[in-house]
Amino acid sequence: TFDTVGSISECLHQPADLPSANPTRSFWAHSSPDANPLACEGSHGSLTTDADICIIGSGISGISVAYHIAEAVGNKTILGAPLRVVILEARDFCPGATGRNGGHLTPHTFYSFAERQNRFGTDEAIRSSALEQYTVSSLVNIIERNGWSEKVDLVNGGNIRLFFTEDEEREARTDFECAEHMGINLDGVQWLTRAEVENSYGAPYSAVKIHGHNLWPLKLVTMLYEHAKQRTSEHFDLRIHTHTPVTSITRLSSKGLNADLTYILSTPRGSLSCSRVVHATNAYASRLLPSLAGSNGIIPTRGQVIATRASLGQAPTKTNGWIGNRGYEYWFPRSLRPGEETPLVILGGGREASGPQFELYVDDDSSINPVVGKELREFLPAVFGGKSEHGNEPEMEWTGIMGYTTTGDPFVGSVFNLSTGKEENYEGQYIAAGYTGHGMPRAFACAEVVVQMIMAELTGTQWSCPTWFPKRYLTQNRLKHKN
β-sheet bridge partners, residue 104: 214
The arithmetic mean of pLDDT across residues 355-381, rounded, is 95
| Confidence label for 79 from pLDDT (cuts 50, 70 and 90) | confident
User: Between β-strands 248-251 and 321-324, what pairing exists: parallel, antiparallel or unpaired?
Assistant: unpaired
For 182, residues 6+ apart whose C-beta sits below 8 A from its C-beta are: 113, 117, 122, 125, 126
Lowest-confidence region among 5-9, 312-316, 339-343, 444-448:
5-9
Q: CA separation (Å) from 101 to 50, 72, 301?
A: 33, 29, 13
Number of other residues whose CB lies within 10 A of the CB of residue 312: 15
Rounded Cα gap, residues 409 and 483, in angstroms? 9
The angle that helices 122-145 and 166-181 make with each other, rounded to 10 degrees, is 90
Which residue would you say has higher pLDDT here, 205 or 423? Answer: 205
- Per-residue confidence (pLDDT) for residue 170, from 0 to 100: 98
Query: pLDDT > 70: what percent of the chain?
Result: 93
Is the model's pLDDT at 272 over the cut of 90?
yes
State whether the Cα torsion 397-399-402-407 is positive or negative: positive
Rounded to whole angstroms, how far apart are CA atoms 62 and 476?
21
Confidence of residue 96 (pLDDT cuts 50, 70, 90): very high
User: Distance between CA atoms of 123 and 444, rounded to whole angstroms?
Assistant: 21
Confidence of residue 196 (pLDDT cuts 50, 70, 90): very high
For the stretch 5-43, pLDDT in tens is 444 444 467 899 999 999 999 999 999 999 999 999 999
3-state secondary structure of 61: helix
Q: How far is residue 239's CA from residue 228's CA, in Å, rounded to a whole number? A: 10
> Residue type for 376, please?
L
pLDDT of 87 > 80? The answer is yes
What does residue 83 show for φ and ψ, rounded to 5 degrees? -75, 115
What is the pLDDT of the chain when averaged over all its residues?
Answer: 92
Please give the single-letter amino acid code of residue 66. Answer: A
Bridge-partner residues for 56, per DSSP? 88, 279
Residues in the chain, overall count: 483
Over residues 269-295, the mean pLDDT reads: 96
The arithmetic mean of pLDDT across residues 355-384, rounded, is: 95
Distance from C-alpha of 111 to C-alpha of 331, rounded to nearest angstrom: 18
Per-residue pLDDT at 6: 46
State residue 314's pLDDT score.
Answer: 44
Residue 33 corresponds to which amino acid? P
Position 228 scores a pLDDT of 97
The distance in angstroms from the start CA to the end CA of the chain is 15
pLDDT of residue 431: 98
Could you tell me how far CA 326 lies from the centroid of its own chain? 19
Q: Are strands 270-279 and 429-433 parallel, antiparallel or unpaired?
A: parallel
Residue 85 main-chain phi, psi, to 5 deg: -120, 130
CA atoms of 45 and 349, how far apart (whole Å): 40
Which of the four pLDDT bands, split at 50, 70 and 90, describes residue 317? Answer: low
> What DSSP state is assigned to residue 182?
T
Residue 482 has pLDDT above 70, yes or no: no
